[in-house]
Structure 1
Amino acid sequence: MTTHAIDAAGRKVDVVMHRPGDDAVDPVAFQELRQQRREKLEGDLGSGLLRTRYFPVLSVLAPVMTQSEGEITYPGDPMALYAALSVAVHRAVDDAGPLENARHYNDLAPEWKRFPSKEYRAAASSTGFRPYGTEPNTDQMVFDPRVWDESARMKWITLLREVRPRVVLISSVSPAHRYALEIAAMVKAELPHAYVVLGGRHVDETMTATPDGGRIVVKPSGTVAVIQEGKAPPVIDALVSGEAYYAVDALMRALAMAMDLERRWVRPERVLPCLQGILAEEGVGAGKSLVVLASDETRESFCGIALNGPQLDLALLPAPYEAFAIRSHFPIFTDPVTGDILRTAHFMVSNACPYRCNFCSESVQIGHGLRRFRDDAIGRAIERVCEYVSYDAKSLFFDDSVFWSGRYRDISDFCEELSKIRAAEPGDLHPRLRRFLTDDGDISRLRNLQWGAQLTVDTLAALHSQEESEKILRQMRDAGCSYIYIGIESMSTQVMNGIHKNLRRDESRPWREKVRHAARMVKSQGITLGTSVLFGLDGETRSSIDETIHEVGRLIDDELVDLASPNILTYHPATPITRQHGMHDQLDYHSPRIDNRKPYIYFEEAFPGVVSVILSEDDIWHIHNETQRRWGGARNDTSPESVLQVEGRIEGAAGEIIQETYAGI
């Protein structure tokens, strides 16, 4: 056990780092503790002193926005939260039942006892709110407010008082971090002994371990840094970053063992020994992650454990939707007869983008590298399609930054196999697919399945020949693909010369011509094309802004682009451009009250103080007004009037503002 300094832009913060197993409790003593608890637990359950061994849990996606009118809010399912919980929930449900049969959750256990039924999934509305009830399934234990306003606060307080959760797990991106801290503070005000765990993209980007696991580095905007500097309240008991699937499971089991058996509140001082005991007994699960725990009741001192397990194969993890209902509805997918917007599942076969753009938080250079479906990748992806169809998905969007990482062979093999099973008779399907496709409704949804994916201009127009790209697009269309999304970023050569997506530069064929060529190939196959445009990159001027708006407008006029989403460069804590622009120690993602106003609210994640220093507020107004005027109905509109039209077509929608639904997040 050694104290190491965290480098937070020159400010020193002390954290005690541990290595898994180095200072764990003695294995014999740990086994004795486990046996003693088990005997007492069995006795209390048998005598009726303890009604149940399960304790209530709530999981939360912290929302990005504070009001719905005219703003952009998260439109889809909270997939980062669902994925992070996938292993822990799967194992807990598997262990529900007789205590003697439990393998992982063989002590007290979270109230994850049963998955949603087929009927529940089919009836799930698009709203993020869901009743907890008396016998909740795993989906009912999620709080997903979408917008953080007074109504959401009251719902959260009511839920805390009703459920009295022993553990609250919060997932947050950077623009939502201030609201995650408020959500945690409300937990502590209502339930001082509840144990709060924070994870998600903001923690991933701001808290990492060195390769040897002996030290951690926290960005200035990281939760640990702002708490220890007194900028944020000490309301977090634990943080988990990285490839946290197995780490969350180990932590949840440690929390269960660290609970007092009578009152069932976590005793914080017991968490580290229990976690170390579990890790020493079982070893570290797959993936590279970091668990940081508050060391005392003040929650201002921390200790950490870096978990460096074997390389992850995403195909071997439980499906994120196994425990949760599909609630997304993307307006790009509609029923050809009724016009109803279809229930849309998110799907990923990789975790990062193979490109290294300096502004993108999804880049392979951030995090632990590119992870994919590896073992029998195509077969397992087809299984996952069938599984999601059985969960009432009528459409899919592949959220991979680049579909199958841009590998044409994988795309071709996947589309060929998907086309084959869509056309097959039910009796001819492999048993491992038939176990999901159990009735006529499942078969019908598979045959009529619509889906979309993301590609890049370079993938289509530079890295492959026109013949190869047209063949791939035909295969995608024939397999049910009806929508493709590409990131244009800019139509200005002076801007795109600094972007990694523009790999093969040719002065005789500027970027805007490659964009036009890629768009023409997509549209020639009858596929809807959505695009995103990013303003505020290096080299941006008012002239380049106008050039981009005009050239995208020409694509729309020529019916080569169906939807265009304007975005403003927002600084993420770990992206290289944040440091290059001198913003690495200037980001405020913690202050509880931020002046979030027009025109920032018209763009995803844009707040004053965290957007491109290259753009003035007048530039942002100009971008908003001119894209609205020039792109017309093709602009991904977030005005209140447009939103109400979309919401009216979604059964059960309750105040959900759709943004980037066209672009697939």
Structure 2
Amino acid sequence: MKVLLISPPTESAVTKVMGTTGPPLGLAYLASMIKNEHDVKIVDAVAEGYAEEDVAKIIRSYDPDLIGLTATTAMMPDAYETAQVAKKINENVKIVIGGPHATFLPERTMQECPQVDFVVRGEGEYTFKELVAALEKERDLKNIKGLSFQRDGKVINNPPRELVENVDEIPMPAYDLLPMKKYRAGKIEFGTIITSRGCPFNCIFCSSSLQFGKKWRGHSVARTLEELSILRNEYSKREIEFLDDTFTFQKSRAITITEEIRREGLDITWTASSRVDTFSQEVACAMKMSGAHTVYFGIESASQRTLDFIGKGITPEKSVLAVKNAKRAGLHALGSFVIGFPEESAEEIETTIKFSKKVGVDLAQFTIATPYPGTRLWLYALKEKILLTMNWRKFTTLDPVMKLKYLTADQITKALRSAYLKFYLRPKMLLLDLIRDRGFVFKKAMHFLANEIVQRLK
């Protein structure tokens, strides 16, 4: 089989700032499952700067039997356009799509884009591999778990697939099929790695625990170090971003990984995410000593009422302590704050904005609560009939898509702009920008992102 995996052309504020996005590791994992038996090509249209016509030329030239698409909710219209172009070129090409959006809305996905033949739901590697084998040998699809497909005008949803217990069984992503030199922030090339899957927590806006399960499953330390070594030694990636939902979920494992990074002498700098309640001074120091420079915390809100509604399971006090532990160890702290929950008041939002300045984070990311398909917030929005739109391009976390109890869409948009202005245009932040860390790429990126959002929301 000739298989073409595509991350379609799209545009976002982050893309404008960084010049690219990170590698589409989901596609690289799929490719790794079949590349020894089939002819596989990956097209990362964003990294390559491709427009739709460029992708069309590749489809004509490569002439695939199967096209695989990946897309976030906001990218779904772009994926649909790519599917439509592909079918115009070759009406017999089969098209499959995966990712959290399609996972939770397979029927709607195929209704909105009849050119999509299959949806791979959930953790997709083995489902995808079985689909390719079935298509090659013209087998029935009914026994492929995790697959949805069209038959006689109806969408058939096969039973869900069990999660992969031992994630070390999944081959490393096919980095060799990606344009690795294209992933850079300014002059700094970076790599990304996922060392664990699944999340046992229950945040109302997060689809990760639904896509990859409630059970946390981590790669072995040996596998993790092997992959890091490949990124550092084969692809010269000195800056690494760990994409785990919670890198510090098992503190002892996180510390062991940092110790092995030092023992191997990998000479990398890196970032990772942590919950504030899975972080400690010991973890912070271990991260710093092995080259980490930034830790990302999901602080979300200063209102305990809002935190309880989210299901975050933390308190503002825990956030303060986690940030202190990070700063004492010499790490930069990036805090994520979410505003615009259905029953959140203007006073609570203002308290969160003030808290972002007091909690001690070096960088702040502000977003609007967005009900992504499959999440508890999505179900809540449907039940309460507060969705303002199903234009997927609006599901960016920068656009209000829910009707709020106390605030209009215009008010929440202005609040987001105000949050960025109040955090980044303080005299303290401007002074620090002049006297320290002038080469710190992520800090600069967040400043530029803040400016982009402020300009967009004027």
Fold shared by both chains (TM-score > 0.5) = yes
- Deviation for aligned residue 1:487: 1.0
- Deviation for aligned residue 1:378: 1.6
Map 1:636-647 → 2, pairs under 5 A:
none
Give the whole-Å Cα distance in 2 for the aligned partners of 1:567 and 1:609: 12
2:6 to 60, 85, 96: 60
Deviations 1:378-412 (A, max 9, x none): 222222211222232212111111114x2211122
- Deviation for aligned residue 1:330: 6.3
**2:431 aligned residue:** none
- Deviation for aligned residue 1:658: 8.4
Higher helix content, 1 or 2: 2
1:407 to 250, 255, 262: 250
Contact in 2 for aligned 1:314/1:371 (Cα 8 Å): no
Match for 2:236: what amino acid?
D
**2:429 aligned residue:** none
Number of aligned positions between the proteins: 433
Contact in 1 for aligned 2:97/2:120 (Cα 8 Å): yes
| Pair 155,585 (structure 1): closer, same or farther in 2 beyond 3 Å | farther
**2:292 aligned residue:** 481
Deviations 1:627-656 (A, max 9, x none): 23211269xxxxxxxxxxx9xx99xxxxxx
**1:493 aligned residue:** 304
Give the whole-Å Cα distance in 1 for the aligned partners of 2:318 and 2:163: 40
Contact in 2 for aligned 1:247/1:307 (Cα 8 Å): no
Deviations 1:331-351 (A, max 9, x none): 5xxxxxxxx743222212222
**2:324 aligned residue:** 520
Give the whole-Å Cα distance in 1 for the aligned partners of 2:384 and 2:276: 30
Q: Unaligned stretches of 5+ in structure 2?
A: 427-437, 451-458
The 3-state SS of whatever aligns with 2:262 is helix
**1:293 aligned residue:** 149
Match for 2:329: what amino acid?
Q
Give the whole-Å Cα distance in 2 for the aligned partners of 1:146 and 1:608: 28
| Pair 254,304 (structure 1): closer, same or farther in 2 beyond 3 Å | same
Give the whole-Å Cα distance in 1 for the aligned partners of 2:356 and 2:301: 9
The 3-state SS of whatever aligns with 1:369 is coil
Give the whole-Å Cα distance in 2 for the aligned partners of 1:411 and 1:491: 28
Deviations 1:57-108 (A, max 9, x none): 321124564789979997211122222333122x33xxxxxxxxxxxxxxxx
The 3-state SS of whatever aligns with 1:242 is coil
| Pair 187,410 (structure 1): closer, same or farther in 2 beyond 3 Å | same
The 3-state SS of whatever aligns with 2:196 is coil
- Deviation for aligned residue 1:372: 1.5
Q: Indicate the larger mover: 607-616 or 242-251.
A: 607-616
**1:618 aligned residue:** 410
Contact in 1 for aligned 2:119/2:149 (Cα 8 Å): yes
2:117 maps to 1:306? no
Map 1:197-276 → 2, pairs under 5 A:
197-207=96-106, 222-224=108-110, 227=111, 232-258=112-138, 272-273=139-140, 275=141
The 3-state SS of whatever aligns with 1:294 is strand
> RCO higher in 1 or 2 (8 Å CA, sep ≥ 6)?
1
| Pair 74,64 (structure 1): closer, same or farther in 2 beyond 3 Å | farther
**2:433 aligned residue:** none
Contact in 1 for aligned 2:190/2:239 (Cα 8 Å): yes
- Deviation for aligned residue 1:485: 0.6
| Rg comparison, structure with higher value | 1
Deviations 1:438-479 (A, max 9, x none): xxxxxxxx2x2111111122223xxxxxxxx21221111111
Match for 1:244: what amino acid?
G
**1:548 aligned residue:** 352
Deviations 1:14-56 (A, max 9, x none): xxxxxxxxxxxxxxxxxxxxxxxxxxxxxxxxxxxxxxxxx54
| Pair 295,582 (structure 1): closer, same or farther in 2 beyond 3 Å | closer
1:569 to 369, 390, 401: 369
The 3-state SS of whatever aligns with 1:243 is coil
| Pair 175,605 (structure 1): closer, same or farther in 2 beyond 3 Å | farther
CA RMSD across the alignment: 3.6
| Pair 64,323 (structure 1): closer, same or farther in 2 beyond 3 Å | same
- Deviation for aligned residue 1:566: 0.7
Contact in 2 for aligned 1:175/1:589 (Cα 8 Å): no
Identity of aligned residues (%): 21
Deviations 1:478-498 (A, max 9, x none): 111111010110112332233
Contact in 2 for aligned 1:313/1:371 (Cα 8 Å): no
The 3-state SS of whatever aligns with 1:345 is strand
Give the whole-Å Cα distance in 2 for the aligned partners of 1:589 and 1:239: 23
1:582 to 382, 396, 414: 382
Contact in 2 for aligned 1:486/1:532 (Cα 8 Å): yes
**1:378 aligned residue:** 221
**1:195 aligned residue:** 94
Deviations 1:136-164 (A, max 9, x none): xx4xx31423799xx72222233233333
- Deviation for aligned residue 1:626: 1.2
Contact in 2 for aligned 1:64/1:605 (Cα 8 Å): no
**2:81 aligned residue:** 182
| Pair 407,582 (structure 1): closer, same or farther in 2 beyond 3 Å | same
2:196 maps to 1:350? yes
Q: Unaligned stretches of 5+ in structure 1?
A: 1-54, 93-109, 113-137, 208-217, 259-271, 332-339, 423-445, 461-468, 504-510, 635-645, 651-656, 661-665
Give the whole-Å Cα distance in 2 for the aligned partners of 1:180 and 1:588: 22
